[in-house]
């Protein structure tokens, strides 16, 4: 195998563009510092800036259609459709490649080189194509089939793979380079395009050797809508680098499918901007489910190699580099949460990195710096990006056999159910007790079928989600007993003796309280599909898993209508899909009723429609209970001053939502057709004009529903003089999974025993007529996450214990108000909490007079 470090030499043409324009002012090497709130994903914007509608029109249609060629070997060429030129593309000002120019460039490269394959990996939220480029030496169909077989063998039979000499010498070790996941962090795309062209057209024998032995995969721009618009988020307002274990966005689904299909041994995710350049490994806390010994040796070695290469470029602005594992205190840039590209890719066997390039060109810099300076910075950033890519390819070329063996060993330990290894201090330079995070894997998880399952539709969603993430699930073919419990046929088993057990566990475990492992965390520290997605899931510590079962490709259908024709139907709002079904029926004009226990009654005349929506959404209609049907429920119209993730979740449940904000209401928004006002972001009562305040007072007086969440919602409640409560803020950066107690009432009384908080609140000094719907559990309510008191001792979880978390009431004017101190729609993740918001909305509508 060739060992020369040919890849470190950047082409002179790229460096020429960097030095062509001197800096507007000389910049000394910066002292890097990371601030948790510097990005919208982590900062206050979620509570202060209300979401508006994503563009309703898709992008200007491309010319023609994508024409994919044969996919039997390599190259796999696709004649890409071309998008019309867009002079408003934000990349242009920086001298970078606008989105509309990418397809023509890739089409030209495919014509010029048989090393280049381009496939369309999916579409963005606005319908732009996502381009996956593969660079490798040409392969005949039989050679490609062999590569596919070896890749499958590594995951499915790692013991055999570890002894397969043909695999060792013939498998093309893959690397995946992901670019531009944050749309206004542009330069990774341009570096990738430049590198691809060089590798595709060079006659250097070392490059030919590299491509003969490896496959290089490039996601050219993971967020084309954000690239074009100059926004960090996608067109739905989501930070795609927080969505990996939720998969709510199409771009995230495409990236998940790329990492599963390519199974890279190394992976880079290109970002910006941190002064000096930052290169992972992360600092602690590290995810407790990883086999960290199999990551950190290669992770640190190549990280230090990338650092040296960046410094060797000679840019003064890129000399004060940061390697978080070495340089940053615990929690300030941690690897705990599985929500990021790099940390998620590790579960698929990759040695992964987030790279932060040095010179800011977005946000205020984009608007205020001279174009010449912006382009100088962007060129340096592209050079730094390409340097990290080339260094990683060099490391791959030198250590391919070790990296393949490394991935095989990750999967072998998982399949064997072996415990994680203890790593002594000094395992790699700088490794100490603060880096030591492990867990004990259960033997299995069981997702029951039948009467013990809280929500069949939630169970099916969880199973489908696990399978989509390449977690192996089986379904029992007959009744069985396990760990002293009985389960009916149709129940699902997740055997934790599987290659990707770490990924299965990071989704299904409760998590861990890491409050005392670090003074802060970079982002959320608690999540749990088992506790927050609405399904009943049992943890099995041991037992005989020899249960007659079959592998699951998709969950069994769950929808149905139980009553005989002529009988009224009922549906209990326990899941967002239940709300979606109810809203569908309301949209068809059926008159439904809502009972006080959150059950919705559907007339027998709607049976045919109910059968259709039951099949569509997987919900089940039961026999309507005897007694009065309850208040008439009409299709609600919502005005929502909410964050983008909440707007997305409300619409995902089928609600008709009109975005709202202080400015929109002051501009004369008509509230006469609105049934419920939802307030969590960007609406200040004290900043409304007298006319807007009067319109709101009229809305309250006719019994309008008001739902609030968080600090902005609580301030709105106080300023508008609605419920007589005092909102107490917890520590603003606290987040996690908590235990709660539910009371009969608006939310139905049988909600999940867990909830999610971020910047939690609770309510005290409740006035007359205020009802507690949900409380923090007594004792220590935090199950998993990070929650310390403020420096003055306030805001602690101990103070929240037993306090009201969700309250409701009718104010003196007649408004029906419900206030959340929790985060039931956070980033579209806690699916099992959606029903709480839906029930609150229906309560607000059903209590109003027709």
Residues in the chain, pLDDT under 70? 1-45, 54-58, 847-850
Contact status, residue 571 vs residue 621, Cβ threshold 8 Å = yes
pLDDT given at position 54: 61
Q: Cα separation of 759 and 710, whole Å? A: 8
Sheet holding 549-551, edge to edge: 538-540, 444-447, 492-495, 474-476, 549-551
**Reduced to 3 states, what is the DSSP secondary structure of residue 103?**
helix
Q: How many CB atoms lie within 10 A of CB 454?
A: 17
Q: How many CB atoms lie within 10 A of CB 110?
A: 22
Question: Is residue 703 classed exposed, middle or buried when 0-12, 13-18 and 19+ CB atoms within 10 A define those classes?
Answer: middle
pLDDT given at position 36: 36
Tokens of 547: 């249960």
Helices (H), 422-571: 456-468, 501-508, 529-532
Question: Is residue 589 classed exposed, middle or buried when 0-12, 13-18 and 19+ CB atoms within 10 A define those classes?
Answer: exposed
Q: Work out the angle at residue 166's Cα, subtended by the Cα atoms of residues 163 and 171, and round it to the nearest 5 degrees.
A: 105
- Partnered with residue 351 across adjacent β-strands are 266
Distances (CA, A) of 98 to 17, 89, 296: 18, 6, 37
Tokens of 490: 């149709």
Tokens of 588: 């068809």
Q: Cα separation of 582 and 590, whole Å? A: 10
- Express each pLDDT in 219-272 by its tens digit: 999 999 999 999 999 999 999 999 999 999 999 999 999 999 999 999 999 999
Q: Cα separation of 216 and 195, whole Å? A: 11
Helices (H), 313-350: 324-327, 341-346
Q: Cα separation of 535 and 461, whole Å? A: 9
**Reduced to 3 states, what is the DSSP secondary structure of residue 98?**
coil
| Side-chain-side CA neighbours of residue 720 (13 Å) | 33
| 747-752-754-759 Cα dihedral, nearest 10 degrees | -30
Q: Cα separation of 98 and 96, whole Å? A: 6
- Partnered with residue 738 across adjacent β-strands are 755, 782
pLDDT given at position 44: 53
Tokens of 94: 């920086």
Contact status, residue 137 vs residue 205, Cβ threshold 8 Å = no
Locus of tokens 């109910």: 610
For the question of whether the overall pTM of this predicted structure is more than 0.85, the answer is yes
Distances (CA, A) of 609 to 289, 582, 619, 838: 45, 11, 13, 21
Distances (CA, A) of 639 to 44, 656, 661, 683: 22, 9, 9, 11
Q: Cα separation of 250 and 266, whole Å? A: 24
pLDDT given at position 635: 93
Contact status, residue 740 vs residue 717, Cβ threshold 8 Å = no
Tokens of 606: 């709607």
| 309-315-317-322 Cα dihedral, nearest 10 degrees | 10
Using CA of residue 329, residue 330, residue 332, residue 338, what is the dihedral sign? positive
DSSP per-residue string spanning 169-201: HH--EEEEEEE-SSTT--HHHHHHHHHHHHHHH
Beta strands in 450-537 (DSSP E): 474-476, 480-482, 485-487, 492-495
Q: CA nearest 17: which of 95, 69, 84, 99?
A: 95
- Write a three-state SS string for 253-305: HHHHHHHHHHCCCEEEEEEECCCCCEECCCEEEECCCCCCHHHHHHHHHHHHH
Percent of the chain that is helix, strand, coil (3-state, to 5): 35, 20, 45
- Partnered with residue 705 across adjacent β-strands are 676, 816
- Phi, psi dihedrals of residue 627, rounded to the nearest 5°: 105, -175
Tokens of 40: 């919208």
Q: Cα separation of 465 and 687, whole Å? A: 43
Contacts of 137 (CB under 8 A, 6+ apart): 74, 115, 208, 211, 212
Contact status, residue 576 vs residue 838, Cβ threshold 8 Å = yes
Contact status, residue 111 vs residue 77, Cβ threshold 8 Å = no
């Amino acid at each position: 195998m060739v060992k020369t470090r040919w890849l470190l030499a950047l082409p002179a043409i790229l460096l020429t563009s960097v030095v062509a324009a001197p800096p507007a002012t000389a910049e000394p090497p910066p002292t890097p510092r990371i601030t948790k709130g510097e990005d919208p994903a982590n900062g206050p914007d979620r509570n202060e800036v209300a979401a508006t509608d994503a563009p309703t029109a898709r992008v200007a249609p491309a010319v023609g259609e994508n024409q994919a060629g044969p996919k039997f070997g390599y190259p796999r060429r696709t004649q890409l459709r071309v998008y019309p030129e867009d002079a408003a593309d934000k990349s242009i000002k920086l001298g970078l490649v606008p989105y509309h120019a990418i397809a023509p460039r890739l089409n030209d490269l495919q014509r010029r080189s048989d090393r280049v394959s381009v496939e369309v990996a999916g579409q963005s939220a606005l319908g732009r194509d996502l381009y996956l480029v593969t660079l490798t030496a040409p392969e005949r169909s039989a050679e490609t089939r062999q590569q596919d077989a070896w890749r499958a063998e590594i995951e499915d039979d790692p013991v055999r793979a570890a002894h397969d000499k043909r695999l060792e010498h013939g498998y093309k070790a893959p690397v995946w380079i992901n670019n531009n996941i944050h749309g206004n962090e542009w330069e990774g795309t341009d570096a990738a395009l430049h590198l691809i062209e060089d590798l595709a057209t060079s006659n250097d024998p070392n490059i030919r050797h590299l491509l003969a032995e490896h496959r290089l995969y490039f996601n050219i721009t993971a967020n084309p809508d954000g690239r074009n618009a100059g926004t960090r988020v996608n067109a739905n307002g989501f930070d795609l680098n927080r969505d990996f274990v939720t998969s709510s966005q199409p771009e995230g689904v495409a990236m998940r499918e790329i990492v599963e299909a390519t199974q890279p041994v190394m992976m880079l995710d290109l970002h910006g901007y941190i002064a000096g350049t930052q290169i992972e490994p992360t600092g602690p806390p590290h995810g407790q489910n990883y086999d960290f010994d199999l990551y950190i040796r290669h992770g640190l070695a190549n990280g230090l190699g990338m650092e040296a290469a960046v410094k060797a470029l000679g840019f003064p602005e890129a000399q004060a580099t940061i390697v978080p594992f070495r340089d940053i205190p615990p929690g300030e840039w941690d690897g705990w949460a599985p929500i990021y590209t790099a940390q998620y890719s590790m579960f698929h066997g990759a040695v992964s990195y987030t790279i932060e390039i040095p010179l800011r060109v977005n946000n205020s810099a984009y608007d205020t710096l001279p174009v010449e300076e912006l382009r100088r910075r962007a060129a340096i950033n592209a050079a730094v990006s390409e340097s990290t890519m080339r260094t990683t390819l060099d490391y791959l070329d030198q250590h391919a056999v070790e990296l393949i063996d490394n991935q095989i060993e990750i999967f072998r330990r998982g399949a064997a159910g072996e415990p994680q290894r203890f790593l002594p201090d000094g395992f790699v330079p700088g490794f100490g007790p603060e880096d030591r995070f492990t867990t004990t894997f259960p033997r299995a998880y069981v997702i029951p079928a039948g009467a013990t399952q809280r929500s069949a539709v939630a169970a099916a969603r969880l199973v489908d989600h696990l399978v989509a993430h390449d977690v192996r699930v089986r379904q029992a073919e007959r009744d069985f007993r396990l760990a002293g419990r009985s389960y009916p046929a149709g129940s699902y088993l997740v055997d934790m003796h599987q290659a990707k057990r770490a990924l299965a566990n990071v989704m299904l475990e409760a998590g861990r309280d890491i409050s005392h492992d670090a003074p802060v965390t970079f982002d959320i520290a608690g999540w749990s599909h088992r506790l927050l997605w609405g399904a009943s899931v049992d943890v099995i510590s041991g037992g005989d898993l020899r249960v007659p079962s079959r592998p699951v490709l998709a969950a069994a259908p769950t929808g149905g209508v139980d009553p005989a024709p002529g009988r009224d139907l009922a549906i209990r709002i326990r899941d967002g899909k239940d709300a979606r079904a109810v809203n569908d029926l309301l949209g068809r004009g059926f008159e439904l009723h809502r009972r006080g226990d959150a059950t919705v009654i559907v007339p027998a005349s709607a049976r045919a429609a109910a059968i259709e929506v039951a099949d569509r959404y997987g919900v089940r209609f039961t026999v309507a209970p005897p007694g009065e049907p309850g208040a008439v429920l009409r299709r609600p119209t919502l005005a929502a001053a909410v964050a983008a993730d909440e707007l997305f979740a409300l619409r995902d449940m089928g609600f008709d939502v009109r975005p709202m904000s202080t400015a929109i209401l002051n501009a004369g928004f008509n509230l006469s057709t609105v049934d419920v006002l939802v307030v969590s972001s960007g609406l200040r009562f004290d900043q409304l004009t007298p006319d807007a305040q009067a319109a709101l007072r009229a809305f309250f007086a006719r019994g309008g529903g008001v739902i609030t969440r968080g600090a902005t919602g609580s301030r709105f409640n106080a300023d508008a003089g609605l419920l007589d409560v005092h909102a107490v803020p917890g520590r603003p950066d606290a987040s996690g999974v908590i235990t709660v107690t539910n009371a009969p009432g608006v939310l139905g009384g049988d909600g999940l025993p867990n909830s999610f908080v971020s910047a939690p609140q609770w309510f005290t000094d409740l006035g007359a007529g205020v009802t507690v719907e949900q409380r923090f559990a007594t004792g220590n309510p935090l199950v998993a996450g990070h929650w310390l008191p403020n420096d003055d001792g306030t805001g602690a979880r101990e103070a929240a214990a037993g306090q009201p978390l969700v309250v409701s009431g009718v104010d003196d004017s007649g408004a029906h108000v419900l206030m959340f101190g929790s985060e039931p729609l956070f980033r579209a993740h806690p699916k099992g909490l959606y029903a709480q918001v839906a029930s609150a909305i229906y309560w607000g509508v059903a209590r109003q007079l027709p």
